[in-house]
A = this chain, B = another copy of it.
């Protein structure tokens, strides 16, 4: 089947993939907007996670073809199988996403209530505690829902567990599915699904920019893709990049960073999320996400908006009537700045209701340098120094040092009807 996509032109799906896409579980993504509340600041941003997921699947196939163009797998079937499991991992990476925004994770049930058998294979068993996240629903959908049967029937040589292995790095391999000719391909396939330059980002940066109508997210994705390659260390296959695309890698990170600062952290999106959070944690909130996966399939942006419209809660009505609090104060900092607290104190003592919000963006998670990330390094290949051992990307570019500081956007919002009064207080400081 061929699907028209304004971003990638035409997306082709195999007949078996169509049966996955046509499932009620996947179709639900049509009703989950990619950017939640962002449409209130960028009215073009009504695009869904459905189209994004198709796009990620498409980019995954392209990435695979570029990387392994000249690699000889033991048989054509192995090539086909690896490519297919990667495309499925990419297609389904978001399938458990909650309605509207990450704020709804607040009303998810305990993780244990989802009863995910697969988690017994997790390397760290403590991961079973706590509240469920959208990743948990993703794992549930793939391994234990009506979709699971479709996957098994459509792709007999791939198990749902293999797909989940590409999404959840903490799952132990149970067989040699990812081994070919003694090489382990799980690392590179996982990196393509989730890493500093994964196919998820490669789709959403350009897509969000397209629908928001901004140039910020437009990166030379094709240049990146066509310079993807691989590098083997200790029989393990890692994602690698040709050195000539290193500036594009920098651009890619910076571009994403600026998308956070300019689009995702737009003051209107942030205040709607804050208001939704306040509703969801209100005493009279009756909205809960179900542990039952079939009931969860009914939980969409649509049903949440209808729920809000029917609620008499203050915050639910504010959202429904599009009456967000207004920005009184905004500060972009890398260090603590006392100004916001000062103003907050004044507002409090003047009896003015207000909401503070702080949004933090960092260029990359490489900064943290957690052990997990270290084991998923991307390498750089230099064509002008073919004899040298490739080194990891964080040692090749200075972008991580240049952008090492976390950026924080601090804001104070007040109700529209007291904005003028609040402004006077701000100006009196």
Contacts and interface: CB of A to CB of B under 8 A. Distances in A.
A4 B212 contact: yes
Nearest to A23: B322
Contact of A6 (B213, B386, B427): B213
A380 to B, nearest CB: 11
A46 interface: yes
A247 B254 CA distance: 11
A247 B260 CA distance: 11
A414 interface: no
A10 B226 contact: yes
A425 interface: no
A51 B47 contact: no
A403 interface: yes
Nearest to A51: B43
* Majority secondary structure, A binding face: mixed
B48 A4 contact: no
Given A43-B50, A47-B44, A329 B262 contact: no
Given A6-B210, A24-B321, A27-B322, A219 B215 contact: yes
Interface residues of A, number: 70
Nearest to A330: B384
Nearest to A43: B51
Interface in A339-393: 384, 386-387
Interface string A408-429: 0000000000000000001100
Interface of A: 2-7, 9-10, 22, 24, 27, 30-31, 39, 41-44, 46-48, 50-51, 54, 210-216, 218-220, 222-223, 226, 246-248, 250-251, 254, 258, 261-262, 298, 302-303, 305-306, 309, 321-322, 327-332, 334, 384, 386-387, 398, 402-403, 405, 426-427
11 contacts: A7-B44, A43-B54, A214-B220, A216-B251, A218-B218, A247-B258, A302-B302, A302-B305, A334-B398, A387-B427, A402-B403
**What 9 pairs between A and B have smallest CB-CB spacing?**
A6-B213, A43-B51, A46-B46, A402-B402, A215-B218, A6-B44, A302-B302, A4-B213, A27-B322
